[in-house]
Amino acid sequence: MNRRRRPTIRDVAEKAGVSIATVSKYVNGQQSFSQAVEDKLRDAIDALGYSQNALARAMVTGRTTAIGLAVMDLANPHYSNVVKGANRVALANGYNLFVVDMEESIAAVRPLLEALAPRTDGLIVSARIPNDVTDWLAELDKPVAFLGQPERDDVLTVGTDSVQVAALLAQYLVRQGFKRFGYVGYSRASSNADRLRGLRRVLEPAGVELLVFDVDEPTNEAGERAVARVLLRPDRPDVIIGWNDLVAIGMMNEARSLGFKVPDDVAFAGIDNIPISRYVTPPLTTVDVCSQATGEVVMKKIIAMIEDKPQPTGLTLEPALIIRESTQRQFT
């Protein structure tokens, strides 16, 4: 390991025979210079391989040109797509996006955000975090935005409306003719309650039963483990909605290997519209929650906050029903 010290602005100044102030202005392109100085500067910087120390710059300017994004679980394609969208917009606006993974562990989130906050100009946090952390964030001198369902009106939140998402799916399934609904939710997520409200809002008036189950993590594996409980009930549902596509795919797969025909014996639907949902068998009916657009919108909004510009308007996120074969049953 070659621990050569990184060249500093002082090294450049000395080599070029100018003051450090001049180097600083040159590097930041803040004014014009005599040809002689410009040449010396360029040469010295090349020779030394100098580049600005972002830390030092941030210390004095108070601006990092970086934005932090803390997600619950990067292995969840929904979040990868949020990151994608956010990253694209950040880069296009001259910001770097630093992503940290919270590993679905709400507990350890505070130190993580404390480490991230001073290194960024703004923070995007996915999902519900304890109230004391939200308070701490609110007292920060930085813009903060949340991903998901608004729960407090003193913070900016971006996401599709969970009630609407669930209702959209339920409406379609009721119209299809399904009579007994199962919902395998994830009660540790705050929007689980909203999803349930959306489902009930549609199912109760329609006189349709709803059985509610829960997984302890929103993954394929959890779905696989959960589905037997649902399927073995005497009043087995004829359609099962998963907390998200991962859970639904896990359930559907396990149901098939248990010998059930999908969708004829039992139908499945998910939520998120992750890319892979199109490639499973049968292709999964789901609700598109605009993962990538969510990332784009939240990034545009937080950049507007950072730069004290008016909030961009007209950036609404409309969930869309994606109908595929996993719910295409013929009721004859």
Q: Is 10 in the site for DNA (CB under 7 A)?
A: yes
> Token pair for residue 70?
């803390």
Q: Is 8 in the site for its own copies (CB under 8 A)?
A: no
Q: Who contacts 309 (Cβ-Cβ below 8 Å, separation ≥6)?
A: 303
Instruction: Provide the residue count of the chain.
Output: 332
Binding residue for DNA (CB under 7 A) from 2, 34, 313, 330? Answer: 34
Q: Is 105 in the site for DNA (CB under 7 A)?
A: no
Of 30 and 257, CB closest to DNA: 30
CB of 310 to its own copies, least distance (A): 12
Q: Is 141 in the site for its own copies (CB under 8 A)?
A: yes
Residue 282 preceded by cis peptide, ω within 30: yes
Q: Are residues 124 and 69 in contact, defined by beta-carbon separation less than 8 angstroms?
A: yes
> Token pair for residue 184?
């395998």
Strand partners of residue 146? 125, 157
Q: Which partner, its own copies, DNA, none, binds residue 74 by CB below 5 to 8 Å per kind?
A: its own copies
CB of 59 to DNA, least distance (A): 4
Q: Which partner, its own copies, DNA, none, binds residue 149 by CB below 5 to 8 Å per kind?
A: none
Q: Who contacts 59 (Cβ-Cβ below 8 Å, separation ≥6)?
A: none
Q: Are residues 85 and 292 in contact, defined by beta-carbon separation less than 8 angstroms?
A: yes
Binding residue for its own copies (CB under 8 A) from 14, 37, 101, 265? Answer: 101
Grouping H, G, I as helix, E, B as strand and the rest as coil, residue 287 is: strand
CB of 52 to its own copies, least distance (A): 8
From the CA atom positions of the chain, what is the Rg in Å?
26
Of 208 and 269, CB closest to its own copies: 269
Of 22 and 291, CB closest to DNA: 22
Binding residue for DNA (CB under 7 A) from 47, 56, 92, 315? Answer: 56
The stretch among 31-39, 87-95, 101-109, 305-313 that binds DNA (CB under 7 A) is: 31-39
Of 3 and 175, CB closest to its own copies: 3
Q: Which residue has the tokens 């959306």?
A: 198
> Token pair for residue 64?
């990092």
Of 103 and 265, CB closest to its own copies: 103
Phi, psi of 129 (to 5 degrees): -130, 165
